[in-house]
Amino acid sequence: MSNNGDGRGQGWLLPAGRIAGVPFLISPWWFVAAVVFTILYAPNLRGEAPITPTESYGVAAVLVLIVYGCVLIHEASHVLVARALGLPVGRVVLQLLGGVSEILEEPSTAAKEYLVAAIGPLTSVLLVGVSAAFVPLFEPHTVPWLLAWGSLSANAAIAIFNLLPGLPLDGGRVAHAAIWQITRNKVQATIVAGWIGRGIAIALAIAGVYAPSQIVGRSSIGGLYFLLLAFFMWANASVAIAQAKVANALPKIDTQALLRRAMPVEAQLPVAEAVRRARLSGARALVVVDSSGKPQGLVSEAAVMELPEQRRPWTSISELSRPLAKELILRDSVTGDALMNVLRESPASEYLVVADSGAIRGVLSRVDISAALRAAGVR
């Protein structure tokens, strides 16, 4: 499953090499999933081949690794096509429910999105064909036969599931690209595909709770997995819908009117004195500058408010400032999709806005943006 956006916030990840030049990382939850699936699936294999209980766990472990290997090949196809189209890819993450290719930039056209999304299921279908070619080569109900058949079944499931036409699945992105191409309205396409994704999530939850054992498997793990997929689908579809609404509203918001007047201050200036000067000048933001006047850091309003007044005369403003990374510096012309990308990929409480000359124009607060979006009807 591909994912546009940074996708951070997953906690500690183990570096495991590179895929097509893109960092490959493994979530610690993957190891938990691999062990659980191995333990729960092993008993099902004992009746399929003449193996001992101990051997069944080894075969189950190999089968789990094959399945996740197929997931990685699926994700690698997304990476290769995205990079061929000039789209930056941050990393590939193997996690509890599969894999995610973190594409850092939205495709500029529906055609590009279609190509990036469609290649994943097509790759899985190709792997189904490769696995099907191996199945007849082995004696039925032997270990090699089980592994080949397991690979076939896993790739078929990956392909079918990812072809479902709801976000965030590949099929949802294909549907999104089609609706976008027909309507010429990217936001509406996202909302429609997102609601389809929510519908699929509801269906998966119902299947996980009520479906007969023939559908979800001979153990409760099948139903639990369906419920986890349902949660994943609903959460990510909801994020896509929310982001679409924000992206639609942002161009209509006058970001220049939201700029807080910023006052340059020296790093060693006491907080109390900085606050006094800011009040006199009507400034609502503090920017730490060096001796040449170049911005070096931002001081959040929350940090100042949280500092007890009795400590302000003895605390330098540098102790409250956040280093001014280049991601936190915006041109005064930024708006729409560009601003949306910054808010998503570089979350912060404040951003410094400068003119093309580098002169400080003001500070854009995330709180003020959120308030403007609420006033525009975005919830």
Residue 214: per-residue pLDDT: 45
Residue 181: per-residue pLDDT: 97
Tell whether the model's pLDDT for residue 341 goes beyond 50. Answer: yes
14-19 vs 2-4, strand pairing mode: unpaired
Tell whether the model's pLDDT for residue 273 goes beyond 50. Answer: yes
Tell whether the model's pLDDT for residue 8 goes beyond 50. Answer: no
Section 110-127 average pLDDT? 97
CA distance 233 to 170: 12
| Residue 237's pLDDT band (cuts 50, 70, 90) | very high
Amino acid found at 113: E
| Residue 9's pLDDT band (cuts 50, 70, 90) | very low
Q: Of 150, 64, 73, give the one whose Cα is nearest residue 119.
A: 73
CB of 366 within 8 A of CB of 322?
Answer: no
Section 317-333 average pLDDT? 90
Tell whether the model's pLDDT for residue 165 goes beyond 60. Answer: yes
Section 56-82 average pLDDT? 95
| Residue 136's pLDDT band (cuts 50, 70, 90) | very high
In tens, the pLDDT along 21-67 reads 899 999 999 999 999 889 988 988 888 888 999 999 999 999 999 99
The whole-model pTM stands at 0.79
Residue 277: per-residue pLDDT: 94
- List, in sequence order, the alpha helices (H) in the chain: 28-45, 53-84, 110-134, 143-162, 170-183, 186-210, 213-216, 220-249, 255-258, 271-281, 301-306, 336-345, 366-375
Percentage above 90 pLDDT, the chain: 67
In tens, the pLDDT along 169-226 reads 999 999 999 999 999 999 999 999 999 999 999 999 998 887 655 444 445 556 778 8
Section 282-291 average pLDDT? 92
Residue 47: per-residue pLDDT: 83
CB 293: neighbour CB atoms within 10 A? 11
CATH architecture, range 255-375? Roll (3.10)
Average model confidence (pLDDT) across the chain: 89
Residue 192: per-residue pLDDT: 97
Residue 48: per-residue pLDDT: 87
Q: Which residues contact 230 (CB under 8 A, 6 or more apart)?
A: 201, 202, 204, 205, 208
24 SS3 class: strand
In tens, the pLDDT along 140-156 reads 999 999 999 999 999 99
CA distance 361 to 274: 19
Section 252-277 average pLDDT? 91
